[in-house]
């Protein structure tokens, strides 16, 4: 398969994640959308890396995966904290900074 097939697939997956991130009410649902978007970026990293004959893009994909794991752990900790203090998981209810 050519490079553009991989890039098109990544674009489709990224937009699915974007749709989920915009439309979900639940904070965990929003996190799942972000996961899909980051996953699409990793496909791009690995595809470009393979087609340019260098392993550096794959190293970046590894970094991206590790940072995503840290992001999920922190995001879910915040979700649990939110539940403790406000008994809600809906992003619309988290508007304390609104004047």
Partner 1 sequence: MTPDVAAFWGLAAVLVGAGLAVVIGKNLFHSVLWLALALIATAGIFLTLDAEFIAAVQVLLYAGGVITVVVFAIVVTERLVGERLSHTSRRIGTGAAIAAAVLALLLRALAHAAVELPRPPLAGDLTQQIGSTLLTRFALPFELLAALLLVGMLAASYFARPEE
Q: Given the rule CB under 8 A, which residues bind partner 1?
A: 1-9, 11-20, 22-26, 28-29, 31-33, 35-36, 39, 42-43, 46-47, 49-53, 55-56, 58-59, 61-63, 65-74, 76-81, 83-84, 87, 89-90, 92
Q: How far is the CB of 62 from partner 1 (least distance, A)?
A: 6
Displacement of CA 36 from its chain's centroid (Å): 5
Which residues is 90 bridged to in the sheet? 26
Q: How far is the CB of 76 from partner 1 (least distance, A)?
A: 4
Q: How far is the CB of 30 from partner 1 (least distance, A)?
A: 10
DSSP annotation of 97: T
Distances (CA, A) of 46 to 86, 92, 96: 41, 36, 41
CB closer to partner 1 out of 46 and 94: 46
CA neighbours closer than 13 Å in the CB half-sphere of residue 38: 19
């Amino acid at each position: 398969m050519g490079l553009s097939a991989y890039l098109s697939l990544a674009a489709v997956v990224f937009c699915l994640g974007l749709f989920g991130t915009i439309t979900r009410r639940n904070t965990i649902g929003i996190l799942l959308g972000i996961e899909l978007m980051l996953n699409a970026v990793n496909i791009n990293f690995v595809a470009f890396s393979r087609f340019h004959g260098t392993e550096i893009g794959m190293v970046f994909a590894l970094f991206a995966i590790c940072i995503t794991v840290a992001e999920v752990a922190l995001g879910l900790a915040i979700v649990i904290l939110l539940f403790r203090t406000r008994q809600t998981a809906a992003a619309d209810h988290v508007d304390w900074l609104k004047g």
